Amino acid sequence: MCGRFALFSQPEILEQHFECKALPGMETAPRWNIAPSQTIAVVRQENGTRRLAPVRWGLIPGWAKDGKIGYNLINARAETVAHKPAFRNAFRHRRCLIPADGFYEWQVIPGAKAKQPWFIALRSRLPMALAGLWETWQSREGTKIESCTIIVTEANDLMRPIHDRMPVILPSGDWSAWLETADHDAKFLQNFLKPYLNDEMTAWKVNTSVNSPRNDTPECIEASE
């Protein structure tokens, strides 16, 4: 799964890297410990233009009666995303990129009570594009909430000793096709949902301060023995 990540690249870097424009007034302050239910940045296609937009992390399907369902839908499994009722409509029509400078995962240590947190990034240190879906939901009172989920797949060789799942990271050559608003065949889209290349990623242990989302400082990604 992917339950925590970081995005600290400057807005101009994100706009250049993803060839997008931020929506007016959007805040993109550095974040070192992003947690579910918080507002995050996504890149999506709007009238042929890529936009950086703020949405809530934890997808709320359009048919949901209660927005609290989003707390349980922060990730979508690649194996079932095309068919699961909560995700299948967004999978066909509302795909997005979720910029991240890296993500966290917790490793089970045999004989130890506490898990070891790791930070995983690209060797290039460029922002990665996590495969995501977004939805618009309206409450009974008329409040509209835009929300998203991160698609996860099986771990690659780098990640497997740490955790058996990882977010889908899309190479830049796939971004345009993924963001198209066309109603693509599910089999076509499924081709994007695979583990990323081992040799383009790196990982290091970090301290347990990242365990609490209240801690949102650069120390969260500092290497720890």
Active site positions, annotated: 2, 105
CA distance 68 to 140: 13
CA distance 114 to 207: 11
Placement of tokens 């796939």 in the chain: 174
Question: Where on the phi/psi map is residue 105: left (φ > 0), alpha (ψ -120 to 50), or beta?
Answer: beta
CA distance 50 to 41: 12
Q: Are 78 and 193 in contact (CB under 8 A)?
A: yes
Nearest to 120 by CA among 5, 32, 1: 5
CA distances from 22 to 11, 45, 174, 180, 194 (A): 8, 12, 21, 18, 28
> Per DSSP, which regions of 15-122 are E strands?
21-22, 31-34, 39-46, 49-57, 75-77, 95-100, 102-107, 116-122
Query: Which tokens hold the place of 52?
Result: 């950086």
* H helix or E strand, kind and range, residue 12: helix 11-18
